[in-house]
Amino acid sequence: MYGTYPTKTFPNHYSIATGLYPESHGIVDNIIYDKRLKTEFIDIRKTNDAQYFNGIPIWNVLERQNITTACLFWPACDSPINGF
C-alpha cells in the first residue's frame, strides 16, 4: 500500500476505501469549501451529501454482492453513494 498526496487523513482513508487517488475521488483535504453553498465543512464526517464523494467504497461494492458490511468512522460511511 502506498500513501497518497496530499498527506491528509480523509484523502488517504477514502483512497484506501475506493482504490482511487484523491484527484479521482474528489477528497483532497480534511476541509471542504463548497462555493455553491458558501459553506466550509471543517469535519468531512459531517457531510452526508454523496455529491462530495466520487468512486465506490469497498463497503458499497460488497453490499451490491449481498454481503453484509459495517462501516464506522470512515469518510462517507453514512453517505448513500450510488443507492447504497
**Amino acid residing at 45:** R
Q: Note if 9 is an active site residue.
A: yes
Dist. CA 12–CA 18, nearest whole Å: 10
Cell of 18: 475506493
> Is-cis flag, bond preceding 11, omega within 30?
no
3-state secondary structure of 22: helix
The active-site residue out of 4, 7, 9, 68 is 9
Catalytic residues: 9
